Structure 1
Amino acid sequence: MFLTVLGRMLFGVVSVLALVGTVSAHEIRPAYLQIDEMAANRYKVVWRTPILSGMRLPVVIRFSRDVRNVTEPAERSLPDSLVETRVIERDGGIAGSRVEFVGLQATITDVLVRVHRLDGTLETNMVHPSQPWIDFAAMRSPLAAARVYFVSGFQHILLGIDHLLFVFGLLFIVRSRWMLVKTITAFTVAHSITLAVATLGKVEMPAVPLNATIGLSILFLGPEIVRVWRGQTSFTIRHPWIVSFAFGLLHGFGFASGLTALGLPQGDIPFALLMFNLGVEAGQLVFVGLILLLIAALKSIEIRLPRSVELMPAYVVGISGAYWTLDRIAAMLGGTA
């Protein structure tokens, strides 16, 4: 049976997700470097670093030696980030120069880099901790920018352990493949709606209360999974797609933090939103598809596990949700971000 195979074969997967998630759930925000060409050989630089748990990202930018500061860096604080601005110049332009992100290699944060030139061309790149620098060269095609936002969305869902654990928990309360399709589709539609309205600035949700509610959505699934295994029923078990849609609206606001934290210009948001959302959907489908492939591959294997082990995923989902909820409520009461 679909549920039995999940319970017996994948409890290890959900346990690993939860253990990793208690450390890093929904705490990964990108840094952002914007370089606008003001005149020949002169550029305005905006360097934005996120604030995590009240602390700034310990990363600083370092340009090539032949890059000169026209104005000294000026810093201002925002609720979720620190923004540093300056004006630089370099003979011959920035092509052929390098900027290093000192300290990035010790983090799990990426940096989105955008260069806007006077002729209207735009270059977009993503810098990763494994290679904490970027060399400015010839312009890249628009497809490169699409790839950057797509990969960012893909990584955001796969690194957002709380989102994945919610999806995983949903799999334990569906009773058929058709209901699974309806449930996952409802979650996709819901979080796509709120991802769009939040990124476009139509609705704002405070980050800490939102994250506490996302944790509560995971906690909510734990008892429902236990009810399924006990042969009981509830509104959630009968109509999981409705619950998936309702909580999906909240998770969409969480996804939006991956874009809104960048501070992109309004004109760039629609394209970035489209590709980011496609990346989120691709990551979600890969995750669900992997589970279904594991089920198909392991159906023929007979494994007898103690009842306590079979119930472990339900308790891991519930306990993880409780931990995140209490931790985020404590952060909210303590006034930290």
Structure 2
Amino acid sequence: MSRLSWLLGLLLAALTSQPTFAHEVKPAYLELAESGDGQWQVLWKMPIKGGIPAPMEPAFPTKCHEQGPRLSREATGAIIQRWQLLCDGNIEGERIAIDGLQHSMTDALVRVTRLELPAQTARLTPRQNSVAISPAPTPSAVAQTYFVLGIEHILLGIDHLLFVFALLLIVVGWRNLLATITAFTVAHSITLSAASLGAVRLPQAPVEAVIALSILFLAAEIVRAQYGQIGLSYRKPWLVAFVFGLLHGFGFAGALSEIGLPPSEIPLALLSFNVGVEAGQLLFVAGVMLLSNAAMGAASQYRHLAKLAVSYGVGSVAMFWTIERVASFYT
């Protein structure tokens, strides 16, 4: 992968220009659950960015009216509110919107659960901030929603991409690259599934800190290799990718837990999210490889220095994330 070297600084800058937003995919979440006699229970989760709640608010059909006070509490990175709606008659075909979403840079996940019908799950965006309540949502709609969420998560999860990027600097040869990426994929798929289904649980904050440390480890391995000290990452990159991939899977699961899984379609939603993560990862690898092919004519005498400089840059960003995330244990 040496022909990557001269453009690594540019790619690193693009990946880390906003390091504090690493691994931050926190869509708003709205759940509307039917409880009978025209009554619906509302759960509304507003993401907090920079200490300020996102300026968004659910908008329901005009035949629905809020009943009683809202119960509000603050969770990690979000404010959660619960209240009750009373709707006059059937609301199928009516629209639910998130006012203010069109002026934001985030998405919203909406789930409608009814007593005698399958749950409906929809993803709203700034361009499409409303959805009609359908009589019978299809599994394909659930699959599409979670597939896109998986792609978004990996492409906006800068720490995961930086780890893959560091692996690309280490691995030489297509066979080794295929084995390494496959090992990383298998590993984080195992822990993502196990954690999402509740079979295994780990505190999210330490997981995030160790994910940052995994990037720092690879950066140190690259630097040492430039001085002739070949470490485990070079000898067995697939093994390192698998071990750290298990930890990254817990990071993916943490993001998925914030989004939630539809109770009636858990296997499909989980599979779709996982496939979306892999699709996004492959898009990233393909993009880096295309750039590397374009850089084949770079002067060879600068590649060693460029690779060394970028390794220090990757390590510095990873160290910043590590300190930031460990400090969050005490706040």
Q: What is the TM-score of this pair, normalised by structure 2? A: 0.90
Tell me the SS of whatever aligns to 2:17. helix
Aligned to 2:25: 28
Cα deviation, residue 76, structure 1? 4.0
Give the 3 Å change call, closer, same or farther, for CA 193–317 of structure 1 in structure 2: same
Deviations 1:218-247 (A, max 9, x none): 111112112333343112211111111111
Q: Distance in 1 between matches of 2:71 and 2:291?
A: 53
Q: Distance in 2 between matches of 1:237 and 1:264?
A: 38
Within the candidate set 186, 196, 199, 1:202 is matched to: 199
Cα deviation, residue 26, structure 1? 1.4
Q: Which moved more, 1:256-265 or 1:195-204?
A: 256-265
Structure 2 spans left out of the alignment, 5+ residues? none
Aligned to 2:3: 5
Q: Which moved more, 1:319-328 or 1:112-121?
A: 112-121
Residues 4 and 291 in structure 2, CA contact (< 8 A), matched pair in contact too: no
Alignment of 1:18-57 (within 5 A): 18-20=16-18, 22-39=19-36, 41-51=38-48, 56-57=53-54
Residues 18 and 316 in structure 1, CA contact (< 8 A), matched pair in contact too: no
Residues 30 and 262 in structure 1, CA contact (< 8 A), matched pair in contact too: yes
* 1:154 equivalent in alignment to 2:151: yes
Q: Distance in 2 between matches of 1:219 and 1:41?
A: 55
Structure 1 spans left out of the alignment, 5+ residues? none
Q: How many residues align?
A: 330
Q: Distance in 2 between matches of 1:177 and 1:235?
A: 19
Residues 42 and 85 in structure 2, CA contact (< 8 A), matched pair in contact too: yes
What stretches of structure 1 move > 6 A for 4+ residues in a row?
Answer: none
* 1:320 equivalent in alignment to 2:317: yes
Percent identity over paired residues: 43
Aligned to 2:218: 221
Cα deviation, residue 96, structure 1? 4.0
Q: Distance in 1 between matches of 2:234 and 2:100?
A: 47
Residues 102 and 129 in structure 2, CA contact (< 8 A), matched pair in contact too: yes
* 1:110 equivalent in alignment to 2:107: yes
Q: Distance in 2 between matches of 1:268 and 1:88?
A: 25
Cα deviation, residue 251, structure 1? 0.6
Equivalent position amino acid for 1:142 in 2: P
* 1:187 equivalent in alignment to 2:184: yes
Tell me the SS of whatever aligns to 2:170. coil
Give the 3 Å change call, closer, same or farther, for CA 146–115 of structure 1 in structure 2: same
Equivalent position amino acid for 1:292 in 2: M
Cα deviation, residue 117, structure 1? 2.6
Aligned to 2:66: 69
Alignment of 1:183-332 (within 5 A): 183-264=180-261, 266-299=263-296, 301-303=297-299, 306=302, 308-332=305-329
Alignment of 1:127-146 (within 5 A): 127-137=124-134, 139-146=136-143
Q: Distance in 2 between matches of 1:98 and 1:109?
A: 20
Deviations 1:176-195 (A, max 9, x none): 21111111111111111110
Residues 199 and 269 in structure 1, CA contact (< 8 A), matched pair in contact too: no
Residues 42 and 82 in structure 2, CA contact (< 8 A), matched pair in contact too: yes
Q: Distance in 2 between matches of 1:183 and 1:139?
A: 42
* 1:89 equivalent in alignment to 2:95: no
Residues 173 and 228 in structure 1, CA contact (< 8 A), matched pair in contact too: no
Residues 42 and 93 in structure 1, CA contact (< 8 A), matched pair in contact too: no
Equivalent position amino acid for 2:153 in 1: H
Deviations 1:1-47 (A, max 9, x none): xx221112343112210223x13101222222111233364322222
Q: Distance in 2 between matches of 1:331 and 1:107?
A: 26
Q: Distance in 1 between matches of 2:49 and 2:246?
A: 24
Tell me the SS of whatever aligns to 2:275. helix
Tell me the SS of whatever aligns to 1:311. helix
Q: Distance in 2 between matches of 1:92 and 1:4?
A: 66
Cα deviation, residue 266, structure 1? 4.6
Q: Which moved more, 1:249-258 or 1:117-126?
A: 117-126
Aligned to 1:125: 122
Q: Distance in 1 between matches of 2:114 and 2:284?
A: 39
Q: Distance in 2 between matches of 1:79 and 1:155?
A: 21
Residues 8 and 307 in structure 2, CA contact (< 8 A), matched pair in contact too: no
Superposition RMSD in Å: 2.4
Residues 117 and 135 in structure 2, CA contact (< 8 A), matched pair in contact too: no
Residues 29 and 110 in structure 2, CA contact (< 8 A), matched pair in contact too: yes
Give the 3 Å change call, closer, same or farther, for CA 230–95 of structure 1 in structure 2: same
